[in-house]
Structure 1
Amino acid sequence: MGVVEAVCISEKKGMVKKEVPEILLEENWGITGDAHAGIWHRQVSLLAGESIDAVKKKMPHLKHGVFAENIVCRDLDLMALAIGDRLVIDGQVVLEVTQIGKECHNAGCAIKKATGDCIMPKEGIFTKVIHGGVVKAGLAIEIERITQRQHG
């Protein structure tokens, strides 16, 4: 089980998000007041705090939201997720994984220029809201696998 480390929103797409005390997730809509809310498959984005830490080694001044992530998680293996898996926050909010990774808004973004890499294209997790509620730092988050995958 992991923990929500931070929550962030932005009023316009393509902008750095700002950390806020809490967010309200609405079923099949996304985050109230966030530019990415709407009826589509990328309502809420997540990144692992550990991934952000790796970039902070090169750029220690980075703040939560700089990669346009809505929710920063810690102690949760987001890279093990598959499309259709769900994330359950505080036992009530349910997010379903709809996409893993994405294209950067532009090839020469400031983060990529400064660090040589941008983590959202490879490590960003995108979800839609199945069951809404309030999310804030410190809440538990866990993975709920929808399908069993065969190993071998």
Structure 2
Amino acid sequence: MTKVLAINSSKEKGQPKQAVAKGYFALNWGLQGDAHAGDWHRQVSLLGNESIDKIRRLGLDNLATGSFAENITTAGIVLFTLPVGSRLRVGETVLEVTQIGKECHKGCAIREKTGDCVMPREGIFARVITPGWIKPGDEIVRLD
């Protein structure tokens, strides 16, 4: 099953995020209380646990969900192969993919901690089309 493993939030950009029990994803905003939320195209970040496992296999097996500053850690879906414009039902929400990967900014705490960052290559970004709650264990369904 394709599902949510964790919801992660941080108060500051460029820092690993901490897991939370659930998150409210507001329309055209993102995860309430998260530093990256806002009225822009990268409201929500998603990264597959399979991508995190690639870095764990390099010897960094202590990485937790949120280590790459992703809001939603997933399992069972190859996120970076989804075309921009794809829609996903995640928990109560609908998210629309707006960007695949990103440039890692200079002085990135995540890259310093891990030695590599899979987010620029395999993370995806989305905007909130339908607001609602998402929690670990929620199913992820591709709508298109």
Same fold (TM over 0.5): yes
Q: What corresponds to 1:79 in structure 2? A: 80
SS at match of 1:139: coil
Letter in 2 for 1:100: I
Gapped runs of 5+ residues in structure 1?
146-152
Larger radius of gyration: 1
**2-side partners of 1:109 and 1:134: how far apart?**
29
- Stretches of structure 2 that go unaligned for 5 or more consecutive residues are none
1:3-152 residue pairs with structure 2 within 5 A? 3-57=3-57, 58-90=59-91, 92-106=92-106, 109=108, 111-112=110-111, 116-145=115-144
- TM-score, normalising length: structure 2: 0.92
How large is the Cα RMSD of the aligned pairs?
1.6
The alpha-carbon distance between structure 1 residues 142 and 83, as it changes in their structure 2 partners (threshold 3 A), is same
Match for 1:142: what amino acid? Answer: V
Amino acid of the structure 2 residue aligned with 1:41: H
Cα drift, residue 40 of structure 1: 0.4
The answer on whether the counterparts of 1:88 and 1:142 sit within 8 Å (CA) in structure 2 is yes
The C-alpha deviation readout for 1:123-152, integer Å capped at 9, x for no partner, is 01000000011101000001122xxxxxxx
Alignment: residue pair count: 143
